[in-house]
Chains A and B, each alone.
Chain A
Amino acid sequence: MPSALHRFLDNLKRVPKTFLGSVRRHGKATSDRGRSQAVFSNLFLHIHSVKTHKNSLKPGYTLGFGLLTTVCLVILTVTGILLMVYYKPTPELAYKSIKDIHFVVPTGRMMRNLHRWAAHGMVVLVFLHMARVFYTASYRRPREFNWFAGIALLALTLALSFTGYLLPWDQLAYWATTIGVNIASSPRELTDALGITQLFDPGGAIRHLLLGANTPGAEALIRFHLLHVMVLPILLFALVGVHFWRIRKDGGLSRPESADPPDGGGFFPRGGNKTYGLMAIVRGRSPAVGRAPENTVNSWPHLFIAQMAIFMAATVILLALSLAIDAPLKEPANPAIPENPAKAPWYFLGLQELVSYSGFMGGVGIPLISMIGLALIPYLDRERGGVGVWFSGPEGRRVALRSAVFSTALVVGLLAFAINFGWLREWYPDIPQLVITFVNPGTVIAACFAAWSLWIMRRTDSTRMGAIALFTCFLIGYIILTYVGTVHRGPNWEFYWSQASWPIH
């Protein structure tokens, strides 16, 4: 036995090795076994299962949208924290600090541009991811709740974008926020029309909650800042955690029946009562329950390399966009003169188009109905077939195509009509306000979409086909309304073929 002093020196020499050993709970990841252990016992890696199904790695199946959304979120978090170093949320300093970040702070312009582009990217990708999950019927049992969580994440993403929009405190920010908050408090339009605002005023309550005042000012800025950097991110990250965790617990990514042939003839016997999943209490089709692990590969390296490649590619694209196009900054906020036109961020311009007919239905009613409709899809379509197949097969593809044509014709036709001939009040100036509030072109569109979807459901005798019809209509309607609001609306929200023909003022 060497003396204590010797042992001490020996231990000291071995500190780098023993410390590293205590950090890692596994051996070196040099063999498949080592890598499996690493994935299994590492807090950060164990988001993934040790084995990944081959179908989940097919680029044409997931298109990487979920991962790309996560990449945007990571970039937004990092750049957002860096921006917070210099940003000052007061009306006097907000605009100046953004200007500082843009022109003075080292790399500040890059970080701001990245934050802006990643935010745009995240909104687009959340929609694309939702479309992928929908069209491959991946919301089916047992994944209903994860679809629901996804809809909540969509709402949070939009809320984060919107609260971030105010922070530069420029003209665009100020007026978009004024409009946004007025939309949120537009239940007052309804209570006013019914004459019960004195008794029951949810619109006013929301307004005071968001603004801390009657008009946007210092209180509103600090509240939006708090929501943007603290409250909403906490909710988002918690829900993202649930979303990822449920992917694992619901048996990994969805895949078609054909991805696991009934008798692969592999090493593991088929049929019988043996369920490997019982080792850990896993519901449904985990990679091992009733399915041989032959169609899986090791997550390390196959999955991780794919993920890193996508991460790097997405970062390169965002960097290129940020180098090429700066985030805008208009004149400082001026509560006396509205921007003309005062446009919300592009993904809300479809709603702004509807709002230009009536505030409550266009800004609160239709979006709420759409969100509820989307969230309920997996509970209303409970068929089993067609999971993991784009459009659930050729019939679904036909239904999607027809619905796209139908909704394009309907939305373009109705908007062209409203733009040319006006809407209710232009024809009947004395019409009651309640009629104007509820009979928005958006209401007509939503009702037609619902009728179309029910008709398809009856004709095909399939709830899945009805869902495809409705979702396709929703997506196309959203795109066309957004396009019209973005491109064809100019000063006084009038129709122009292009921005070149806007009047000079």
Chain B
Amino acid sequence: MQQKITRRDFSERLAFGSFWAAVGVSFVGMLKLLKPAVMPEATTRVKLGHPDELPAGTERYFPRQNLFVYSEEDSIYAISAICPHLGCIVQRLPESRFECPCHGSKFNATGEVFAGPSPSGLSWLEIRRAPNGVLYADTAITVPRGTKWERA
């Protein structure tokens, strides 16, 4: 049998319901405040220098921006030093591979993970050449593994 709701009960529910709905919506609205409109960070662009300053065979580490730059005969590429597992900074070992000090993830020379908990390999970063000829990498823009900047 269907239960009847009196008019009084109905308006009471309406009153309580609208009160809690208002509280809920206010809180959801306030949550918006917590996400910054602009991330308070330094630029993600890293000046690598002129290609001539990076002759073939150079390995350069940028400690502030946490990235490695490798120069080859006809190309240059950048690998992020931030471990995709939990954000520690990986170290380059002499036997040309990377290791993370925090939880022991291991990566080969191209940043592919071969041991440890990391869910993916090290990110490769985009390299662009500014009109004045200087190379820039962007730590916020990743590219597929193997994407290199070609010396024309």
Contact = CB atoms under 8 A, between A and B. Distances in A.
B101 interface: yes
Given A336-B63, A492-B99, A342 B35 contact: no
A217 B35 CA distance: 15
Interface in B70-96: 85-89
Contacts of A433: 119-120
Given A179-B102, A192-B120, A425 B39 contact: no
Interface residues of B, number: 27
B117 interface: yes
Interface string A203-237: 00100110011110111000000000000000000
Q: Do most interface residues of chain A lie in helix, strand or loop, or is the interface mixed?
A: helix
Contacts of B63: 336-337
B102 A212 contact: no
B112 to A, nearest CB: 9
B88 A338 contact: yes
B102 A338 contact: yes
B34 interface: yes
A494 B104 CA distance: 7
Q: Do most interface residues of chain B lie in helix, strand or loop, or is the interface mixed?
A: loop
A178 B104 contact: no
Nearest to B113: A425
B92 to A, nearest CB: 13
B131 interface: no
A422 B117 CA distance: 11
B35 A209 contact: yes
A214 B41 CA distance: 8
Contacts of A358: 117, 119
A425 B104 CA distance: 12
B8 interface: no
A12 B93 CA distance: 85
A178 B87 contact: yes
Contacts of A355: 86, 103, 117
Nearest to A178: B87
Contact of A183 (B86, B88, B99, B104): B86
B102 A337 contact: no
A425 B114 contact: yes
B116 interface: yes
Interface in B17-54: 34-36, 39-41
A338 B88 CA distance: 6
B41 A217 contact: yes
A403 interface: no
Contacts of B103: 352, 355-356, 493
Given A209-B34, A213-B40, A425-B113, A192 B119 contact: yes
A189 B105 CA distance: 15
Contacts, number: 98
Contacts of A341: 101-102
Contacts of A340: 101-102
A343 B116 CA distance: 17
Nearest to B114: A429
A193 to B, nearest CB: 7
Contacts of B35: 205, 208-209
A359 B119 contact: yes
Contacts of A436: 117, 119
Given A426-B115, A437-B119, A336 B89 contact: yes
A418 B56 CA distance: 42
Nearest to A179: B86
B117 A357 contact: yes
B103 to A, nearest CB: 4
Nearest to B86: A182
Interface in B110-127: 113-117, 119-120
A182 B119 contact: no
A66 B66 CA distance: 47
A491 interface: yes
**Most chain A beta-carbon contacts within 10 A, residue among B103, B113, B115:** B103
A320 to B, nearest CB: 35
B101 A492 contact: yes
A428 to B, nearest CB: 11
B64 interface: yes
Contacts of B114: 425, 429
A208 B36 contact: yes
A178 B119 contact: no
Given A175-B88, A342-B88, A359-B119, A213 B39 contact: yes
B69 interface: no
Interface string A172-215: 00010011011100100100110000000000010011001111
A337 B102 CA distance: 11
Contacts of B64: 336
A241 to B, nearest CB: 21
A213 B36 contact: yes
A437 B103 CA distance: 15
Nearest to B31: A209
A163 to B, nearest CB: 15
Interface of A: 175, 178-179, 181-183, 186, 189, 192-193, 205, 208-209, 212-215, 217-219, 335-342, 352, 355-359, 362, 422, 425-426, 429, 433, 436-437, 491-494
Please name the 7 residue pairs, one residue from A and one from B, whose CB atoms are nearest each other, closest first.
Answer: A340-B101, A182-B86, A356-B103, A336-B63, A182-B87, A493-B104, A338-B88
Given A178-B88, A215-B41, 11 more contacts: A179-B86, A208-B34, A213-B39, A337-B63, A337-B89, A339-B101, A341-B102, A342-B88, A359-B85, A422-B115, A425-B114
